[in-house]
């Protein structure tokens, strides 16, 4: 978790309608909240400018049980009865500042380290809202995942977890460069050059490869869940929001439908998904980066599922004829409906889209050296 949520202004592609399964839209108990500083006015402006705006809701099933949002009288929420084993001195260490965003169970704030003045992001999760044990396990799993991925340059850094009688506090790196989504919208025609796309895609693939190395599947890769560390053009990209992420054993498959409609892999809809679904989502993002359109689009969620399950992305419309064959080949090899035939994240890192970046960097280095001759 620890991520940003938004919608994306990209036009859809048209394909024939077919039949798709109906998803259960109940959301897994999540503490997702945002480091985004988007104002309500800006969000409203986005909505009015986007006739084909993406739905913000998730397609997640609750793994087990049916948590009741109405607390029974006299029943103490599981979160209030749980000692998470985290440090108890948050108030002595940090001062909470402005609100950055909020989710169903928590709020994210800017906070200041009293010892050195460093600014961090703090997610404050209400124990009263952790009604059932599954909500407690979600929080514990998020902290465990952040610890597992600590130190990776493209994952939001985890600093510590605290608790008191009322809240759990997750202290993380503060990212102030905005969402990948916003960078896309700032580009001409809402699309990246191949060089710029290669830089972004490489970082996303590195995150996926690292997750899979740890037996972890992110399960919700989308532009809204990637933040830039700063406003600098060369700022590193950081993966956030591990609220739907989970560990998986070799040979096992997830049977629940989770993720976000436009980025969900076919095998997720067939309830037999694994690490390969992350690569599919990155393929969808790559398609959007290069052409400014979604590869699978419909006015309804069920229609999107039909597109994902039955149809192929359109590589004939502009600007695809002007995009290199290696970049198109890269996207085609990722957006393969059969997960067994799809490239892994590690394999995709060696594909031509990344080699294009290497070639450009080498040419730039040569030209720079020639200027001194």
By annotation, the residues acting in catalysis are 220
- Specify the DSSP class assigned to residue 301: H
Distance CA 353, CA 197 (A): 8
From residue 193, alpha-carbon distances to 207, 289, 353, 367 in Å are 22, 8, 11, 20
Q: What sections of 188-341 are H helices per DSSP? A: 194-213, 266-269, 276-291, 301-310, 325-334
Distance CA 11, CA 6 (A): 16
Q: The tokens 């990344």 sit on which residue? A: 354
Closest alpha carbon to 138 in 160, 165, 106: 106
- Which tokens hold the place of 234? 């060369």
Angle (CA) 215 217 222, round 5°: 155
Q: Is 354 helix (H, G, I), strand (E, B) or coil?
A: helix
Angle (CA) 2 208 280, round 5°: 105
Cis peptide before 319 (omega within 30 of 0): yes
Closest alpha carbon to 314 in 329, 300, 330, 293: 293
The answer to whether 269 and 309 are in contact (CB under 8 A) is yes
Distance CA 327, CA 348 (A): 12
- Which tokens hold the place of 306? 């039909």
From residue 184, alpha-carbon distances to 47, 118, 187 in Å are 16, 30, 5
Closest alpha carbon to 205 in 273, 279, 286: 279
Distance CA 259, CA 59 (A): 5
């Amino acid at each position: 978790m620890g991520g940003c949520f938004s919608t994306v202004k990209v036009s859809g592609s048209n394909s024939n309608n077919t039949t798709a399964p109906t998803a259960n839209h109940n959301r897994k108990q999540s503490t997702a909240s945002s480091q985004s500083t988007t104002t309500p006015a800006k969000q409203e402006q986005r909505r009015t400018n986007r006739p084909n705006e993406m739905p913000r809701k998730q397609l997640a099933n609750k793994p087990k049980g049916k948590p009741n949002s109405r607390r029974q009288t006299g029943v103490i929420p599981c979160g209030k009865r749980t000692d998470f084993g985290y440090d108890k001195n948050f108030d002595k260490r940090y001062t909470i500042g402005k609100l950055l965003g909020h989710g169903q169970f928590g709020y994210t704030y800017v906070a200041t380290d009293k010892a050195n003045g460093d600014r961090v992001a703090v997610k404050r999760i209400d124990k009263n809202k952790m009604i059932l044990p599954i909500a407690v396990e979600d929080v514990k799993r998020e902290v465990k995942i952040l610890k597992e991925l600590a130190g990776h340059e493209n994952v939001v850094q985890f600093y510590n977890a605290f608790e008191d009688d009322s809240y759990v506090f997750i202290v993380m790196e503060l990212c102030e460069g905005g969402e990948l989504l916003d960078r896309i919208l700032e580009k001409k025609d809402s699309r990246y050059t191949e060089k710029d796309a290669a830089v972004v895609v490489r970082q996303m693939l590195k995150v996926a490869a690292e997750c899979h190395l740890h037996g972890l599947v992110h399960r919700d890769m989308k532009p809204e869940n990637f933040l830039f560390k700063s406003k600098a053009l060369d700022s590193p990209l950081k993966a956030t929001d591990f609220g739907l992420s989970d560990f998986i054993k070799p040979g096992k498959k997830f049977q629940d439908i989770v993720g976000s409609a436009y980025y969900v892999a076919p095998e997720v809809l067939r309830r037999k998904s694994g690490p390969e679904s992350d690569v599919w989502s990155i393929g969808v993002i790559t398609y959007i980066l290069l052409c400014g359109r979604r590869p699978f689009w419909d006015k309804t969620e069920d229609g999107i599922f039909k597109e994902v399950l039955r149809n192929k992305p359109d590589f004939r419309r502009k600007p695809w004829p002007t995009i290199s064959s290696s970049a198109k080949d890269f996207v085609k090899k990722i957006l393969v409906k059969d997960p067994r035939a799809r490239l892994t994240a590690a394999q995709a890192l060696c594909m031509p889209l990344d080699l294009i970046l290497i070639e450009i960097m080498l040419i730039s280095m040569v030209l720079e050296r020639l200027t001194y001759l």
